[in-house]
Amino acid sequence: MDLETPLRSLLSPLGLNLYDLELAAGTLNVTVIKDGGVDLEALTKANRVISEWLDINDPIPGRFTLDVSSPGLERRLRTPEHFRSTVGEVVTLRELREGESTRRLEGTVLEADDKSVTLNDEEQGRVVVLLSNVERARTVFKWGAEAKPSPSRATKSPSTSKKG
């Protein structure tokens, strides 16, 4: 079942946008963003609304834990949209390379599209990486750097369990 569409509809009246959604290791991780940042009250409301919807619709078989959070200062990057939203920001990523060792890159995102991200890596210079080769990636928060508006600044909310 597509969970993105109903969750986006549930979050919209709360002024929140769905940033990421992943079911892994028995946990449904719902990451939300909001202009100006996400506070604990917004996370609590989102957790309650999503939990009630999941209880009524039961789209996931078995037991799982619901975790509603904001991405934080160093947010994980998984989708093309995530990478496009980081143009001008510093990211770190691990690139899988066939026949070669995994390469760790860190630099400013120059551009991103549906297939690749282009970084100005601190050591390598301009590097184009296919998104299909990205093992993991996240934004980098630099202490003392000039503040840039972030999609969220709140911390993780308490988790709730669903019985199934």
Taking CA atoms, 159 is separated from 31, 90, 102, 142, in Å, by 12, 30, 34, 29
Q: Could you tell me the two tokens for 71?
A: 């991405």
Same domain? For 94 and 49 the reply is no
**Domain assignment present for 44:** yes
Token duo for residue 56: 């009524």
pLDDT tens per residue, range 101-143: 889 999 999 999 999 999 999 899 999 999 999 999 999 987 7
Structure confidence by residue, pLDDT tens digits, 56-76: 888 888 888 899 999 888 889
Q: Is 131 strand, coil or helix? A: helix
Residue 37, domain CATH: 3.30.300
Whole-model pTM?
0.67
Q: Is residue 108 part of a domain?
A: yes
Residues 38 and 62 reside in one and the same domain: yes
**23 inside domain:** yes
The answer to whether residues 70 and 38 touch, using CB atoms and an 8 Å cutoff, is: yes
Range of the domain at 125: 80-139
68 and 110 co-located in one domain: no
- According to DSSP, residue 147 is labeled P
Task: Report the CATH number that the domain containing residue 96 is assigned in CATH.
Answer: 2.30.30.100
C-beta of residue 29 within 8 angstroms of C-beta of residue 20: yes
90 and 51 both lie in a single domain: no
In a domain, 133, yes or no: yes
144 lies in some domain: no
Whether 52 and 11 share a structural domain: yes
